[in-house]
Amino acid sequence: MTQVSTIDHVVIRFSGDSGDGMQLTGDRFTQDTAVAGNDFVTLPNYPAEIRAPAGTVAGVSSFQLHFAEYDVHTPGDHPDVLVAMNPAALKANIAELPAGGIIIVDTADFTPRALSKVGYDTNPLEDGSLEAYQVHAFDLTAAATAAVAPFGLSRKDAARTKNMYALGLLNWMYSRPIEGTIAFLNKKFAKKPEIRDANIASLTAGYNFGETSEAIAFRYEIAPAPAKTGTYRQITGNRAVAYGLVAGANRAGLPLYLGAYPITPASEVLHYLSDAKSAGVMTFQAEDEIAAVGAALGASFAGCLGATSTSGPGLALKSETLGLAVISELPLVVIDVQRGGPSTGLPTKTEQSDLHIALFGRHGESPMPVIAAQSPADCFAATFEACKVAVEYRTPVLVLTDGYLGNGAEPWRVPEMSELPAIDTNLTTEVEGEYLPYARDEKLARAWAIPGTPGLTHRTGGLEKAPGSGAVSYDPSDHEEMVLTRAAKVAGVVRDVPDLIVDDPSGEAKVLVLGWGSTFGPIQAAVRIVRGSGRKLATAHLRWINPLPANLGEVLAAYDRVIVPEMNLGQLAMLLRATYLINVESYTKVRGLPLRQSELADDLNAIIDEEAAK
C-alpha cells in the first residue's frame, strides 16, 4: 500500500541528454504544479552548445523546479529529487544531491559503452556507490516503448516518448493532475495524431505505473500556497520583459518598436515580441547590435516607444547610440539580460557584472536611469516602470535582468490594462509663437513633437544644443547648462522612485543585508533561514539603481553593518561607498550561478554572531 505524506516543499531536477526533452518535461510539470495551486520558481540549465555530443556530460540539459505551500523565492540550492535519463545526467548531477535524496533513473542507457563514455568504470546502479540515496531504477525507455506499441511509431520515435512516461510517474508521485498536459499534447501534436496519441499513452502509462506497481512506496502531497485571487500564468523573466514593453507602450498610447539582434540569453525577448504582431508590435531583427538600437531610436524619433534588448557584449556595442539618446532626449528602453563576462564569457550563465557599464558605460556626462528587476515576474513591473520614466522624462532607461531571471519562471497574476498606471506622453501638437523643442516641464522633460505635426518641424542630433531652442551651440555656458540640466532631470526621476522599505520585524537587527536585482530570491530565502535560527537580521532590496531611493543614506546609517551580496566583484558596494561614504561590506560570488541560499545564510549567521560577540 502506498503511503501518502504531506510535505511543505520539494525541489525536483529533471536531467537528460539535450535531445531528451527535459526542458519541455520540466515546463509541463511546472504547469501542472501551478494548476495545483503551489507557488514555484524554476531554473532551466542547458549547454551553450546546441547539440553537444549525445551521452556526454557536456551534453546534459536540466530543469530544476522548487515548489511549496508557501511563497518561494529561489529554484533551490540542491535538488531533493533527481530524475536522470542516462548515465551522463546521473554523473553530471549526483554531486549536488544531498544524502537521502531520491533518484529516479532510466536504466536503458546503462550499457558498458555509455558508462565508460562518461567515466564510470563500473555501473553505479550496481556497485553500491549510490547506497546513500533512495534509488528507483526502471527501464523507462522500454516501458514507454511498450506503452506506445499500438501506434506504429519507429523505434526511435517510440523511445522519445520516455520523457512523458517519466513525467507521468512524477505527476503521480507528487499528486499532480495530468489533464493539463494531455490538453497541451492534444494541441501541440494536433497535426500528428500518432505522435499525439503515443505521448498521451506514455504519459498515462507512467502515471498508472506509479499507481498500480507499488514500485515506489511513497507519494507526496503539497498544499496550495496562499495567493491573491485572479488569473495566473507562469512567466519567465524574458517573457515578462517583453510583455512589460507591450503594456508600457499600450498605456502610453504609442506603438511599440523593438530593434534587436540575436544574443544569448536575451533572444527570447525578440522572439516573444516578434510573436506579438496581433497586439500591434513591430520588431526589427537588425544587421547588428548598433543598427538594432539605432532603428529603435529612429522609431522613437518618429513617435514610437523604441526599445532594444541585448546582453553584455551587445550593450557594449550600443554605447554610442545611448549617448545620442541622452543628448537628443528621446525615450528609449534598453533591456540588458546580463550573462557572465567579459567578452563572450559565459553566454548561458548568469551574472550581475554589467551594473557599472549600465551606469557609466558611455562617454561624456551621460546619465541614464537604471532599474533592476528582482524576480521573473518583477521583470514585467520593472520594464513597465522603465517605459513610464522613458516616456515621461524623454530619456533612455536601462533595465537590468540576467540569465537567471530571464530563463527562470514563477507564477504571475496577469493584470488588466486598466489596473496599470497611465503613461503621459504629453506630446507637443501646437504652440503659440516659436516651438522650442528643448523647453522643459516641471520634471525637466523637453517638449517632444513628432514628424507629421504641422508647424513644429525642427532639427535635433548629437551636437550640443542651446537651452530651449535646441539650436547647435558650442557656447561654454550653454554646454554647462545642458550637462547640468540633463543630470538634474535624471536625478529628478527620484520623485517616481519609492522610498526603500526595510524588512526588520524585530526592529532590533544590527545587520542589514542589502541586495539588488536577481539576488532577491536567494537573499529572501537566506533571511528566512537566518531568522529561523532565532537571529535578528534586516533586509532591503534595491530596484532603482539610478537614481537611488531618497531615503537610502538614512537606511544605511541606521545599521552597524551593511552586507551587500552581488554576483560580481562589488559593483553596487563601490557605488554606495562613493555616494554615502559608508563602509558597506561586499559579499561576492562570480561562479555564473545564483547565490546559494544555505551558504549565504551560514555566512550571514557568522557575521551576526561576530557582531553580537562584540
Q: Which of residues 249-288 bind another protein (CB under 8 A)?
A: 250, 253, 255, 257, 259, 276-282, 284, 286-288
Whole-number minimum distance, CB 414 to another protein, in Å? Answer: 5
> What single letter denotes the amino acid at residue 199?
N
Which of the stretches 107-115, 180-188, 214-222, 351-359 binds another protein when contact is defined by CB under 8 A? 180-188
Using CB under 8 A, which residues numbered 283 to 312 contact another protein?
284, 286-288, 290-291, 294-304, 306
Q: Which residue has the cell 515621461?
A: 392
Using CB under 8 A, which residues numbered 496 to 515 contact another protein?
none
Nearer to another protein (CB atom), residue 294 or residue 515: 294
Task: Label residue 99 exposed, middle or buried (CB < 10 Å: 0-12, 13-18, 19+).
Answer: exposed
Across the strands, what pairs with 3?
Answer: 218
* Three-state SS at 177: coil
Using CB under 8 A, which residues numbered 184 to 203 contact another protein?
184, 187
Q: Which residue has the cell 537566506?
A: 526
Nearest to 495 by CA among 440, 544, 539: 544
Nearest to 29 by CA among 168, 135, 143: 168
Which of the stretches 165-173, 226-234, 499-507, 522-530 binds another protein when contact is defined by CB under 8 A? 226-234
Q: Does 397 bind another protein (CB under 8 A)?
A: no
Nearer to another protein (CB atom), residue 328 or residue 366: 328
- Would you give the binding string for another protein spanning residues 400-439, x where CB under 8 A is met? -------------xxxxxx---------------------
In whole angstroms, what is the distance from residue 450 CA to residue 298 CA? 11
Residues in contact with another protein, counted by CB under 8 A, come to a total of 74
Using CB under 8 A, which residues numbered 12 to 31 contact another protein?
31
Using CB under 8 A, which residues numbered 471 to 490 contact another protein?
471-472
Nearest to 604 by CA among 499, 517, 519, 518: 519
Largest CA distance in the chain: 89
Nearest to 382 by CA among 544, 257, 572: 544
Using CB under 8 A, which residues numbered 35 to 54 contact another protein?
35, 37
What contacts 202, CB < 8 A, 6 or more positions away? 144, 147, 148, 161, 162, 164, 165, 168
Whole-number minimum distance, CB 354 to another protein, in Å? Answer: 22
Whole-number minimum distance, CB 287 to another protein, in Å? Answer: 4
Binding test (CB under 8 A) with another protein, winner from 128, 421, 433, 451: 451
Nearer to another protein (CB atom), residue 70 or residue 232: 232
In whole angstroms, what is the distance from residue 102 CA to residue 313 CA? 40
Whole-number minimum distance, CB 78 to another protein, in Å? Answer: 28
Nearer to another protein (CB atom), residue 60 or residue 295: 295
What contacts 53, CB < 8 A, 6 or more positions away? 59
Angle at 149 between CA 147 and CA 152, to 5 degrees: 140
